A and B are shown apart, each in its own frame.
Chain A
Amino acid sequence: MTPNAWIQMGVFLLVLVALVKPLGAFMARVYEGRPCGLDKPVGWMERLTYRLAGIKPDQPMNWKTYAIAVLLFNLLGGLVVYGLQRLQGSLPLNPEHLGAVSPDLAWNTAISFISNTDWQSYNGETTVSYLTQMLGLTVQNFVSAATGMAVLVALIRGIRGKQTENIGNFWVDLVRSTLYILLPLSFILALALVSQGVVQTLAPYKKVSLIQPIRYTQSTTNAAGKSVNQTVWVKHQILPLGPAASQIAIKQLGTNGGGFFGVNSAHPFENPNPISNFLEVLAILLIPAALCYTFGRMVGDTRQGWAIFAAMMIIFVPLMVGCVWAEHAGNPKFAALGVNQSPSALMSGGNMEGKETRFGVTDSAIWAAATTAASNGSVNSMHDSYTPLGGLVPMWLMELGEVIFGGVGSGLYGMLMFVIVAVFIAGLMVGRTPEYLGKKIEAFEMKMATICVLVPPAMVLMMTAIACVTVMGTSAIENPGAHGFSEILYWASSVGNNNGSAFAGLSTNTVFYNIAGGIVMWISRYFLIVPTLALAGALARKKQIPVSSGTLPTHDALFAGWLVATVVLIGALTFLPALALGPIVEYLHLWH
């Protein structure tokens, strides 16, 4: 690896770590309802929203009420997104006159966006109107992220509650997440991106003349039924435009990942240069990382938050470095063909297949690791073309359950489920009924936590199994052999963990993949949210046990290491056989 690669990774991580505390502390203030500096500019909007929606902000909710509110709100969101897609042909703001989206694709997209997955079976510029993008998808980019954050905050309230039923008010958490955190951050990021050349317009697509017209040969059948070769000149190009910058900001910040354009952040209008790339990749991990500090603040011991953050970093950093290293190592098949893969002043070197020359190997691989660690799923390069080990990293990061940063809110509450499992075993090992932050972990908590740990891998394995032995599954594969298996496994891992990134190489806009994907995304999101809230309710009702030297410390390096071991071991044991048949065997075949 080049020194440049090390410097880029170092700067990225340093800036990220530096932002954790200030943003985390700010978010803690927002959720605790304390002055946060935005009370004047945003407070009136908050109060207006409450008045218009008839929300009583002081009304406490028990976990069931909270869960019903979450589910109803998301159901409503899903219906709106579905309806907009089906009716967009007769609705305004559709300059390209795009027709109704097919029912299975509309279903897939609706679930995908309300579940914060943002899997895209569609191609933005050829399928959805501006209105659908703005009112449907962008709105969900905000509120699906805010839903995740609200559920996390409810869980935190459960942890610190003392014999109470109250875990907060969903509407307040939702509104405050959106107005105080997501909107202001997106506003800043969108402005910065526009300054770098990301497009933001409601104008129709532009037809431009090519500076260098291109020519190709097309074989057609003439009137006599004979095949003739015809030379075609291309002199014009259609440039798709749209209100991209605003959507890109929230797609990155809210771990959504659904690109405005089909190729996502590899598109020059979404991500024109290394500076915009840096801002966007930073935005992927920003809120999930900072929420660790928010958690520590809110439970009254910031060390607890740092321990979880450290555990995430211990898993993330080696995997990111590994991905960058694997891509820098290049592809032996290219080397055999005499392709120069060594870095120089003019090129990044390494495996450049499927990567943008303006980003090179390093920025692409950092992005690949970040977007799959967080359940973002936006891409700036095609993961399908990565080397086997380089591609294994993003795949496995998703399969760990999207808990290494993970989705906004959902990543941390997912990680807390692993914490509960880790605390349980460690607690037994020190000879006490396990407890976390003063709350006893008993049978019910164990049941809820293990459901959350179990559901995503179960979904991934089952969907991969179904897709790889049925015609409707295998017919979508564009690459045969072990790589085809990797493509299916990647798809299942992505939808089964609400990531939404695509490996590509799999034509998933089919009835089977759309419907099955929609079901999996729905289960993986809401079959985790409900047990998480039930757990919050159960913890809130419990007594708080005072800390003594017999209490298992959960803020130190030992526990962080133990948590890492738990996450890695469960992830490895569940997916090793599947990975062996995909990327691992690909690697063994490529390097021998």
Chain B
Amino acid sequence: MAVKSTSLFNGEITRRAIVESFKKLDPRIQFRNPVMFVVYIGSIVTSGLFIQALLGHGEASPGFILAVSLWLWFTVLFANFAEAMAEGRGKAQADTLRRARRDTAAKKLAEARRDAAVQSVSATTLRKGDILIAEAGDLIAADGEVIEGVASVDESAITGESAPVIRESGGDRSSVTGGTRVLSDWLIIRVACNPGETFLDRMIAMVEGAKRQKTPNEIALNILLAKLTIIFLLATVTLLPFSIYAVNAAGHGVPVPFTVLVALLVCLIPTTIGGLLSAIGIAGMDRMIQKNVIATSGRAVEAAGNVDVLLLDKTGTITLGNRQAVNFIPASGVTAEQLADAAQLSSFADETPEGRSIVVLAKDRYKLRGRELGSMNAQFIPFTAQTRMSGVDLDGRKIRKGAADAIAAYVTQLGGEYKSSIASAVDDIARRGGTPLAVADGPNVLGIIELKDIVKGGIKERFAELRRMGIKTVMITGDNPLTAAAIAAEAGVDDFLAQATPETKLQLIREYQQGGRLVAMTGDGTNDAPALAQADVAVAMNSGTQAAKEAGNMVDLDSNPTKLIEVIETGKQLLMTRGSLTTFSIANDVSKYFAIIPAIFAGIYPAMQRLNIMHLATPASAIMSAVIFNALIIIILIPLALRGVKYRPMPAGKLLLQNILLYGVGGLIVPFIGIKLINMALVTMHLA
């Protein structure tokens, strides 16, 4: 999927959103959001009052009622617009995805054999369990599992990554996605799902927000907002009897008009957060997609913010995928150069990353360049599982490198000696978390090459960051405990699970969950599936197996295990945006009271004018200014809602202080300025 980070107010999306904001005036849609529904009803009531005023029975001047009514409608429309903008961004991405889901012809096989009878059918008729063949140039018609063959596949339609990937039967690279193209060779595929349930279909549904359900925190927040709305509804409605009493007591003035009560109510109820709430939720999922992570539910995104324990695979996440040579330890009587030379010779033909790292290390340390091996009459001995050695025969030398015990057996057989000093060096390396490779020239052991896991650059800092966020990191590895401990210490993880098996992984997750913690993990293999299903936040690699993808609740299109950290940050950002805007919204009310209360009671008790600390021009202009501010603030905060508030890892207490100062104290002050400015503008335009 070609996900570009679209600019926030893209012209096409904005145009569509404007149309959508009007369509969303449907009462059935409005009813879903209790806060905005109150504004909606208020708009209808004031519109009715305007018509009444036009007919000559108005409680206030028609112009004033119309102005209030219009701005209330704007408030509703602005909230609709925010939601439509968030949805629009998702829809734009869905359209891109849809282009990948063209109706392709599929080559259906009668049996799972390369030479079985081929029948051409439409992709939409394929059912789970059908067998397909895809050859070079074919689009893969459905999601499935490779059961035979190896091929390079262009998955750019899904991942946006242009380099082709290898898909083969067995192992962890056996899953293929519908809509991708086979570039070379062929694959026999078993279809994994029925039409409409494919990965692509689910992604489209997700990004469109079509099946969006409210997340647990969103529900709880909605309850709070609804209750606050009820409190403010009572505080406003009771003002009518209160003012009737006051009019009787003061002997002059009129009770507060309905229009003003509705205006006050709308200003007080938390419309800022109420109007932006669903936009924040949709935008949270959207930000995940921008990071090339597809979450299967909003609940998963939210859960990501709560993660306390992070399980990370060692290989590929904490360490670079492969071990590298870091040191040559010569046997007594051998120089390091001699050892490096022999090691390099034995590794020229070794295309494994370990082999290449030996050549590079010898070159870097001892300036040993590549030599013309052809002239030396070299014969390479490849690695086999039986000998557990590889090497080269040249000019009568028989250079071998391999596991220490294999080399020991080799030299002993040739009548050489495997010295105890070598054996102790081997033990030393293992204890440090490295892997020893012995090098022998005929019956003589020349020394040891130390291979080591290379911890990724910057990972230690990331883990320190996570610790500050209160997240514990656990490294999962198949290594023995000694090696695992050494790497864990070097990478700075909090804990490790050595000699991990699918069972011990699952067990570990359950233990953490029993202790009340939320666990996140990444995985790609089929054997990761049970643990992925158990984890609270489970990110499956897109390159992984179908089983892993089914078990997880997120899929990372980039197949980058470090992505988990960003996933957590996005989850936190989502919650923080909601909390901060709630605080802001409620803090705003203080200034609105100072604008509206003197205005509505000044007719009854002129002394109330002393509370008009903002010196707003007239009572009507004061009420208008508050209503306009209340509507405009929604529009102004849309970018914040879509982008999310800034998150930097720090302890919760510091984070809270920062957000209280910004959104709480800021929320108290900003509207005083805003309302005053709007009032001045109204005066300048002779509207006050």
Contact = CB atoms under 8 A, between A and B. Distances in A.
Interface stretch (A1-9, A111-119, A405-413, A570-578): A570-578
B244 A469 contact: yes
A562 interface: yes
Interface in A451-467: 451, 453-454, 457-458, 461-462, 464-466
12 contacts: A426-B656, A428-B221, A431-B576, A432-B575, A454-B227, A465-B241, A481-B249, A550-B469, A577-B239, A577-B593, A581-B246, A588-B607
Interface stretch (A283-291, A326-334, A439-447): A439-447
Contacts of B54: none
Among B242, B308, B515, B656, chain A packs the most CB atoms within 10 A around the CB of B242
Nearest to B471: A550
B249 A573 contact: no
Interface of B: 216-217, 219-221, 223-224, 227, 230-232, 234-246, 249-250, 268, 302, 305-306, 308, 467-472, 515-517, 571-576, 578-580, 582-583, 586-587, 589-590, 593, 597, 601, 605, 607-608, 610-611, 647, 651-653, 655-657, 659-660, 663-664
B231 A550 contact: no
Grouping DSSP codes into helix (H, G, I), strand (E, B) and loop, the A interface class, with mixed when no group exceeds half, is helix
A68 interface: no
Interface in A8-63: none
Contacts of A441: 220
Interface stretch (A141-149, A170-178, A181-189, A540-548): A540-548
B245 A468 contact: yes
Contacts of B571: 431
A585 B220 contact: no
B245 A474 contact: yes
Contacts of A550: 308, 469-471, 651-652
A104 to B, nearest CB: 24
A310 interface: no
B470 A468 contact: no
Contacts of A424: 220-221, 224
A293 to B, nearest CB: 23
A425 B238 contact: no
Interface stretch (A239-247, A313-321, A507-515, A552-560): A552-560
A206 interface: no
A578 B235 CA distance: 8
Among B237, B578, B605, B652, chain A packs the most CB atoms within 10 A around the CB of B652
B230 A549 contact: no
A578 B573 contact: no
Contacts of B239: 577
A196 interface: no
A581 B238 CA distance: 12
Given A464-B238, A585-B608, A431 B243 contact: no
A207 interface: no
B655 A578 contact: no
A16 B578 CA distance: 40
Contact of A461 (B235, B302, B305, B610): B235
B176 to A, nearest CB: 37
A454 B231 contact: yes
B280 to A, nearest CB: 11
Interface residues of A, number: 69
Given A574-B231, A588-B610, A462 B238 contact: yes
Contacts of A447: 223
A484 B249 contact: yes
Contacts of A428: 217, 221, 575-576, 578-580, 582
A302 interface: no
Contacts of A577: 235-236, 238-239, 242, 593, 597
Nearest to A548: B470
A445 B470 CA distance: 24
A558 B579 contact: no
B217 A433 contact: yes
A215 interface: no
Given A425-B579, A549-B469, A485 B572 contact: no
Given A430-B659, A431-B573, A549 B467 contact: yes
Contacts of B302: 433
A588 B516 contact: no
Shortest Cβ-Cβ A-B pairs, 7 listed: A550-B470, A428-B579, A431-B572, A548-B470, A429-B579, A450-B227, A588-B607
B659 A429 contact: yes
Contacts of B238: 461-462, 464-465, 577-578
Contact of A443 (B219, B240, B305, B471): B219
B242 A482 contact: no
Among A447, A466, A548, A588, chain B packs the most CB atoms within 10 A around the CB of A548
A377 interface: no
Contacts of B268: 573
